[in-house]
Amino acid sequence: MQNPFGTTISADDIIDTLGFFDSWEERYKYIIDLGKELQPMDDAKKDEQHLVRGCQSQVWIDSEMREGKLWFDVDSDAFIVKGLLGVVLAAYNGKAPEEILQYDIENYFETLGLMKHLSPTRGNGMRAMVSRIQSIASTTH
């Protein structure tokens, strides 16, 4: 489970980079490019167990605990959603379960200005992804 999110691409990096763009069209392109940084998930993991309910697109999340930190393997069938997964992973990947549970994700989203620029169904999907990751963290905590 290797991707750059949470290690070389942090939540602060995403906040800083999105701040450089003048338009949301440019920001969406950046978010889509973030999704290209994710390695494709093994098709064997694209099953009911890893599927996230509440997302408009298909989203799968798997996790692995290594040295007290959670690492996530994620995928989606939609480019923008893969990018949004990258935005979420920048905040959560490679963190201890208690760090994930204490992280103020709503403030992060507010700082990005993201939720008001997503459709209601995409916003619900983002919250479903966050909820799944927090649930994983709480059961490994």
CATH topology of domain 11-140: Sufe protein. Chain: A (3.90.1010)
CA 137-51-113 angle, to 5 degrees, is 65
Q: Provide the whole-model pTM.
A: 0.94
Structural tokens at position 16:
């800083």
Contact 96, 68 (CB under 8 A): yes
For the annotated catalytic residues, the residue numbers are 55
CA neighbor of 90 nearest in space, from 7, 3, 10 = 10
Residues 2-24 have a mean pLDDT of 92
Mean pLDDT of the residues in the chain:
94
Region 4-20: what's the mean pLDDT?
93
Q: What span, in angstroms and rounded, lies between the C-alpha atoms of 113 and 131?
A: 19
Beta bridge partners of 70: 65, 95
pLDDT at 23: 93
pLDDT in tens, 43-61: 999 999 999 998 889 999 9
What is residue 74's predicted lDDT score, i.e. its pLDDT?
96
pLDDT for residue 1 is more than 60: no
Which amino acid belongs to residue 88?
V
| Residue-range domain boundaries for the chain | 11-140
